[in-house]
Amino acid sequence: MAQGTFVQALRKEAALSSTFMKGRSLMLNGAVLSFEDSGSRFSKNVNIEGTVRGSCGDLYKTHVALDMDGTIYMGMSLFPWTKRFLSDLTEMGIGYSFLTNNPSKSIADYLHKLETLGIEATREEMYTTALATIDYIRSHYPTAKRLFLLGTPSMISEFEAAGFESTADSAEDVPDVVVAAFDMTLTYPRLCRAAWWASQGIPYIATNPDRVCPTDQPVVLVDCGSICKCLEHATGRTPDIVLGKPDPNMLTGIKERFGLRADEIAMVGDRIYTDVAMARNAGALGVLVLSGETTEEVASAADPQPDVTALSLKEFGELLKEAHGK
């Protein structure tokens, strides 16, 4: 990063209501924040030191990768602070993208959902575990064309648009690779067919490790990790690789698209074992929000601690604005 002029941005006591922070220094858009715990594991009174470094070009590169379910919305309910948070990022010159472990929707369907919720986004700003799986198969199984896809029709359409063929539920239609995903249209025959192919030694990939998907409805949404546990119990086989967060390669698409290093990215999400763990594995900043799956009790017991923990994007946004003197 070019050095440019060092500007002392702020040094003040911040009493951010119900915002918890602990961990290493944070660099966002060139602003370096040092979080000092004042004696307790979590502190509402946090000393913040900031400096702004680099040229405008350097500042513009810094990026926030946002989880979706439980972070910007819950089910079909957009959190009331999401739009303001995104507009504040734009005002501060911080880029952002949406990074989700949920492969059940195609990019087109995700963009439609975001539009329905009042958020404008582009295909380049979206990266899902379906895309990560497509990239992985192209890289590691370059001759593979025929896939048995345990996923939704929307997800399957994404693979077909990428040039793959979805094999039928038939012992005669042998796939090159089996892909298990978050399948909300799962049927027993297709589950059994996936188990059969896994038992036959066909390469077997899981799109994501999530056990459940966050929802605002009174139901447990069984996710890919739980489906794979079922297959393991039936066949004794685990996936050859589990993609998605916390696999650090999930950030590869974001880094390549925006010309970023991992340490220029803040990964924000509601799960310690996927979002925060991936940030740690990739060398990015891990920001946990308590608006989805993770409770305050679970967060306080986490070891190691996330770099930053906040109730929601609203509180994290306040930290960023403090850093930029907004």
Residue 62 lies in a domain: yes
Number of domains in the chain: 2
Q: What is the pLDDT of residue 214?
A: 80
pLDDT greater than 50 at residue 272 = yes
Residue 50 pLDDT exceeds 50: no
Identify the three-state secondary structure at position 128.
Answer: strand
Mean pLDDT, residues 126-144: 95
The answer on pLDDT for 28 being more than 50 is no
Q: Looking at 201, 221, 242, which one is the last position of a domain?
A: 242
- Domain membership of residue 275 (yes or no) is yes
Is 165 found in the same domain as 78? no
Domain check: are 148 and 234 in the same one? yes
215-257 confidence digits (pLDDT tens): 888 999 999 999 999 999 999 999 999 999 999 988 887 888 8
- Residue 191 domain flag: yes
- Sheet strands (E) in the chain: 7-15, 20-21, 26-28, 31-33, 45-52, 63-66, 73-74, 77-78, 95-100, 126-128, 146-150, 165-166, 177-180, 204-206, 212-213, 221-222, 241-242, 265-269, 285-289, 308-310
Tell me whether residue 291 is in a domain.
Answer: yes
Residue 230 in domain:
yes
Q: What is the pLDDT of residue 62?
A: 82
Chosen domain end from 208, 242, 276: 242
One domain, residues 134 and 229: yes
Distance between CA atoms of residues 180 and 176, nearest Å? 13
56 pLDDT above the threshold of 50 = no
* C-alpha dihedral sign at 307, 313, 319, 321: positive
Together in a domain, 74 and 55? yes
Task: Identify the residue whose tokens are 């509601």.
Answer: 270
Structure confidence at residue 16 (pLDDT) = 35
What is the pLDDT averaged over residues 131-157?
96
- Examine residue 1 and state whether it is found in any structural domain, yes or no: no
| End-of-domain residue from the set 242, 274, 289 | 242
* Co-location of 157 and 229 in the same domain: yes
pLDDT of residue 321: 82
Predicted confidence (pLDDT) at residue 69 exceeds the cutoff of 80? yes
- Is residue 34 domain-shared with residue 62, that is, in the same domain? yes
Say what percent of the chain tops pLDDT 70.
80
Does the pLDDT at position 308 exceed 50?
yes
Average pLDDT in the chain: 82
Q: For residues 224 and 200, state if they share a domain.
A: yes
Question: Locate tokens 């925060």: which residue?
Answer: 276
Query: What are the Cα distances from residue 10, in Å, to 7, 17, 34, 139, 207?
Result: 9, 19, 11, 46, 43
Separation CA 159–CA 115 (nearest Å):
23
Residue 124 located in a structural domain: no
- Supply the pLDDT for residue 326: 66
The answer to whether residue 144 sits within a structural domain is yes
Q: Which helix (H) or strand (E) holds 107?
A: helix 107-116
Higher pLDDT, 117 or 51: 117
87: number of CA atoms within 13 Å, CB side?
7
Please tell me which residue, 24 or 199, carries the higher pLDDT value.
Answer: 199
DSSP three-state, residue 209 = coil
Residue 274 above 50 pLDDT? yes
Do 154 and 237 share a domain, yes or no? yes
pLDDT at 152 over 50: yes
Q: Which residues contact 187 (CB under 8 A, 6 or more apart)?
A: none
Question: 259 and 182 share a domain?
Answer: no
Residues 221 and 264 in one domain: no
Q: Are residues 89 and 141 in the same domain?
A: no
Q: Could you give the 3-state DSSP secondary structure of residue 280?
A: helix
- Chain centre to alpha carbon of residue 281: 13
Are 167 and 216 members of one domain?
yes
**CATH code where residue 140 lies:** 3.40.50.1000
Structural domain boundaries, residue 304: 7-101+253-323
- Report the C-alpha gap between 269 and 13 in whole angstroms: 26
CA 145/CA 166 separation, integer angstroms:
9
